[in-house]
Structure 1
Amino acid sequence: MNNKTLKSAELKQTKKRILILSVLEKASSALTAEEIAEITSQDIKMSISTIYRALNALAEKNVVTKTLYQDGKTYYEINNHTHKHTLICTLCNEKVPINTCPLEALEDHLSQETGYTITGHSLEFFGVCPKCSIVKDEK
């Protein structure tokens, strides 16, 4: 998939980009550039700036999504072009997928009202998970 993905995005197929995509494909959740650097360091030596450049190129071509979380870090994940929403704990960064979409009706309404063809949306809720709430209350 990596070679086809890069080719269809009109990006050069380098070992580093292929490795970065492979790491993101195997990840169970979004990763920071630093986490990617730690994982890839076993295979190929590349600087953090190289990883950031590759991730930015991939994000510009919509191969990966780039999201700034409330912890101030930017997270990257493969853009599967699927509809998803997430609940994120602001203390431990646990991510829980939300399986329903409360925005479909709003999206239709906005499209009719503005004439826009809406191509997608993103929704993240932030809070404190039950485990962190217990720890927080014990302090």
Structure 2
Amino acid sequence: MEMSQSILKNADLKSTKKRCLLLSILQTEDRAMTAEELLEKATPILPMNASTVYRTLNTLTEKGVLSKSLRKDGKSYFSLEKHDHHHRLVCTVCRKVIPVDSCPLKELEEDLEAKTGFRITGHTLEFSGICPECRKSNGL
């Protein structure tokens, strides 16, 4: 949890047990998770209710510690903000996430910076679809 405390300090946030635990779970899982998934993993370790989890996740997102994405399943997913870029394929059936190593967006990033004046510090690109295993097992 020492890394979690450092992240919170850098964001000018008080280091609480609940914040540290949620960050620790996201670090350990190394994937985007819903508030419900985080609550399920956290509660056996440190009891908390759903409103606490939501409030904490929103605070961490507002401070730039987490990134929040809304997926096609209608749920919000939270992940550690790495201030870099990452790309992934997400299976809509089994939820498997496959990282994509190459980045075809460098030129687009530079063009956007030139046109808007933004200094882009990271981006996320996510494709959703059905993985080969799910296609095979479901006849798709």
The answer to whether the superposition gives a TM-score over 0.5 is yes
Q: Which residue of 1 aligns with 2:48?
A: 46
Q: Which residue of 1 aligns with 2:23?
A: 21
Q: Which residue of 2 aligns with 1:110?
A: 112
Q: Which residue of 1 aligns with 2:127?
A: 125
Q: Which residue of 1 aligns with 2:6?
A: 4
Q: Which residue of 2 aligns with 1:30?
A: 32
The normalised TM-score by structure 2 is 0.90
| CA-CA distance at 1:116 after TM superposition | 3.6
Structure 2 portions without partners, runs of 5+ = none
Amino acid at match of 1:122: T
- CA change 1:100–1:42 in 2 (3 A) is same
The normalised TM-score by structure 1 is 0.91
Contact 2:84 2:122 in 1 (8 A): no
Structure 1 portions without partners, runs of 5+ = none
CA distance in 1, matches of 2:77, 2:117: 32
3-state DSSP class of the match of 2:82? coil
Task: Decide which of 59, 62, 72 is 1:60's aligned counterpart.
Answer: 62
- CA change 1:114–1:75 in 2 (3 A) is closer
Contact 2:84 2:121 in 1 (8 A): no
The alignment-based identity, stated in percent, is 46
Amino acid at match of 2:20: I
Q: Deviations over 1:19-62 (max 9, x none)?
A: 11111111132111111111111111100110010011001111
Task: Decide which of 90, 94, 97 is 2:96's aligned counterpart.
Answer: 94
* Length, aligned pairs only: 138
Amino acid at match of 1:48: A
| CA-CA distance at 1:13 after TM superposition | 1.3
- CA change 1:80–1:102 in 2 (3 A) is same
Q: Deviations over 1:62-100 (max 9, x none)?
A: 111111111111111111222201111111111111101
- CA change 1:20–1:116 in 2 (3 A) is closer
Amino acid at match of 1:111: E
- CA change 1:4–1:28 in 2 (3 A) is closer
CA distance in 2, matches of 1:135, 1:103: 33
